[in-house]
Structure 1
């Protein structure tokens, strides 16, 4: 069965392939594996998922990073959720597929629910409230939309995420304007933001290290799984 993979950020795509697709476009990265770079947000993710199905994908994978909602989850922790929560719905992943992938990772993998939100969750208080209200252990902006498209088409769905920011930490405001929808640096916007909030430099550097830890966890997992092992 061919697999369509949805990623939001260029850095996430580079975990899977040296040739990053153009924004909003898709490429074949291995026999039976097609990747689409969608940019952040559920609407863009849904469009990418629908395009992959139209191109012949028989299953969908949401791949990339997420933010922690539950206490004690550290940067780099891998998440293979059993359920994804989005827009008032609860979507189950394909259980046999998830079990096969988890067995190949050979390490600790968190299985708790993943929540998909329409906007970035920047404040610790907001993240704690989301955890208390939903029970989700992490939050992203794409997986639930991909799950909804898969469910509507009666296709298998899976999400594989690595955590970046822990729940007890606010995201620096400058981080929210420093990159575009695909995670690419906007240097002039970053400089302008830091001119207004220079004390955020340390927090930005720490966030960069946490992002690196998450991407390294994804790379390690991908080396173990590979194009053959990820097949549904």
Structure 2
């Protein structure tokens, strides 16, 4: 079913967005597992039947929130990348700009960040329609890596990953094909960069580094610079990109 909240012919086009806004507020208090349709209806001053008319099941509402979270976080990265490109930035500066943008979004929207990157909601399995919004983040990273490869900004790895590749064909297709050696493993390395980024954000959003790092923002930049070395990209620390 369509859980976007924008059904054709919806009598009250503002209702889906109002329901989702209330649900996002309750995410902070109740967490995704406690986000029932009854709670959303009560929180928004609505009848449960009104909520069910748009989102028949709790999972439909969760899916709509997941899609929104992926889209808004991906859009934040895309805007940051476009601004960096417009300023003539190098690929390393672009990478720092987009990862900083995702970090800002994550701290500004911790409940939504937790929904898509935190503990799974018991019994909920994200449907296929969440895949495309979720792909926006790795696609931004992949576009930067591809640009760096084409412009000669990447340093070849000291050790190439052995054949055969363990990639799915879809990953290769999204990147635009497997480059020739010495960068034939760059897609796998890009996935490592992506996973490092999300893991770093999980550590920072959930305060896993508060007792070992005195400057979380500076450490984030340094960690991105270290992670970028895995794809052969130099991230200039202290870059003025904001």
| TM-score w.r.t. length of structure 1 | 0.26
Structure number having the greater helix percentage: 2
Which is bigger in relative contact order (C-alpha 8 A, separation at least 6)? 1
| TM-score w.r.t. length of structure 2 | 0.25
Structure number having the greater strand percentage: 1
